[in-house]
Structure 1
């Protein structure tokens, strides 16, 4: 579950606060020092798997999931990682993980037919229960997101019969139900990207958004927990392997979108967008350092957010209107009070420290 908990003295993001708009009036030497301070502190989980699933509970507890059935959990700020994968999962693509604490987590595997499934653990990954298995031959689930509290959430599949297919849980992921689609706008040859677990995100207690790409690049939104949806064009151009990949909302009004073309990892023009009215309209954001798959706001630093992609990372200090590239590339990013976490190729996990 995407949320923030408490202020953590350990690994504070002083560099991001110094680089925020409120601190920009300091000396040039101070600004130069802040720019140099931005760097990912990298650890590894002990595997070469691509880690696209990521959920950080706080500065000490985080979960990551991989493309060859791997799941790892850290409870000491990323210094050590414990393999907590479900048994016999090596052929599954785990692209999204949603956690409420060190014990409770949901895990989404993607793919056609029964390869799309959801697992649940309540004991830190010692055991897992399969709570959803897809049996629709046209469905392919991409992302999952929970509202605060971890009881109510959604998962989304690529369009089935020209409409996105959404399932919902109201009991913390123990059971899932396919929602009616009569109030879902028709797709225009688009689909979701299972690239960072953020093609579906939530904010507040009833709102959620779905990002799309392919023949169209749009953002779908609901204000009633998935019962009805509306849609708006994104400013990120569509492409066969491109469009809007990742979303993040710091409030129900202020949101960011990132994407681009996966086959052109260093092309960052028109790869970001922002909204100030809950996604009813989107505005072209600043140029990124390349294609980006994930983005998240930094708590406690107004206007500051981090975007990541395979070719690098970016920071904005003005709500997405401009971006500056720094550091290594990752697939996923999540920021909580005190630290930003990232995950990516070759079993890498990053923490953004001073």
Structure 2
């Protein structure tokens, strides 16, 4: 009986959550999507085969898709300011595209021709400041491109003096290994080393913090981070070659990323590509998405429940307190939560 009870609790817990989650697919297409933005009641996306477009949240028949290039580029980044969207293809030469929100006309505004350029994430801190993070150069220097409208009013690669460890890189899994607030920018790395790089906007200096995350192989490490405020943050990931592995693949911080505590090791659904804290929950409620599952935490990431076995999602965003939009392999869907 002692062995049966835990199994029953797990079954009924999963059953309860599955009965309180529903899905509506609002876009089907032959595309892999790893970056989305919300604007004007629409989900905007970039993906494979140079595809960029939107689908209306309330009327999915209202949709449009364009190709940003005649070449079959892969886009895993997307960000926005007031008037435009921005996307970068992942391989060299890395081309920075700007797409007008009203007309969808687009142009290349910057190119990084470095042979090792591979941009993993693109993030706007505010209307005047944005960062894009690439894999390192051949000398293991951190490669960071910056847009500053109050400075050069253009994109440029900055000299930052940061050396990454050999084999330390990042994962272009969901455009979510960069996050910021008004005081800090956080960047998560993975591979041979999985660390947190924190940039202070006050003095423009980086600090680097080690993590207890699973690391050491090129497929391991942090894939996604999110912060509720200046102190509390969460990191998720694992090993994409061993998606069922669930040891040391979730961690939280309560001091702004300086120290990290492993959570739910051996007690979660495995490899995860994207994590998002529910707005206005102060970090208490969190959704995470992996290729093989969708999971939920209601206690600051300490424990997790797999709420769906839906597969093929890579990225997610909260729309409101009861709705999450998810995108991935060949689809964009809305998930309604009833708990």
Q: Same fold (TM over 0.5)?
A: yes
Bigger CA drift: 91-100 or 120-129?
Answer: 120-129
C-alpha displacement of 1:36: 4.3
- C-alpha distance in 2 between matches for 1:226 and 1:336: 34
Instruction: Quote the residue 1:343 is aligned against.
Output: 327
Q: Which has the higher contact order (CA 8 A, sep 6+)?
A: 1
Deviates more, 1:250-259 or 1:329-338: 329-338
Q: Which moved more, 1:246-255 or 1:60-69?
A: 60-69
Q: 1:353 to 1:80 in 2, by over 3 A?
A: farther
Query: Quick check: 242-251 or 82-91, which moved more?
Result: 82-91
- The answer to whether 1:334 aligns with 2:317 is yes
Q: What is the aligned partner in structure 2 of residue 284 from structure 1?
A: 262
In structure 1, the partner of 2:201 is: 224
Residue segments in structure 2 that go unaligned for 5+ positions in a row: 1-12
Contact 2:27–2:55 (CA<8 Å) still a contact in 1? no
2:241 matches 1:258: no
CA distances 1:233-289 after superposition (whole Å, capped 9, x unpaired): 222211221111101111121111000000111222321111111101111022320
Q: Normalization by structure 1: what TM-score?
A: 0.82
1:345, distance to aligned residue in structure 2 (A)? 0.8
Match of 2:248 in 1: 270
CA contact (8 A) 2:75 2:87 kept: yes
Of 227-236 and 277-286, more deviation after overlay is shown by 227-236
| Higher Cα radius of gyration | 2
1:300 and 1:337 in contact (8 A); partners too? no
1:95 to 68, 76, 79: 76
Please, which runs of 5 or more residues in structure 1 have no aligned partner? 1-30
Please list every run of at least 4 consecutive aligned residues from structure 1 whose deviation after the TM superposition is greater than 4 angstroms.
31-34
Aligned residues: 317
**More divergent stretch after superposition (150-159 vs 82-91):** 82-91
The answer to whether residue 18 in structure 2 is matched with residue 70 in structure 1 is: no
Q: Which has the higher strand share?
A: 2
Aligned equivalents of 1:275, 1:57: Cα separation in 2: 30
Cα shift at 1:340:
1.8
- State the match for 1:45 in structure 2: 27
Equivalent residue number for residue 298 of structure 1: 278
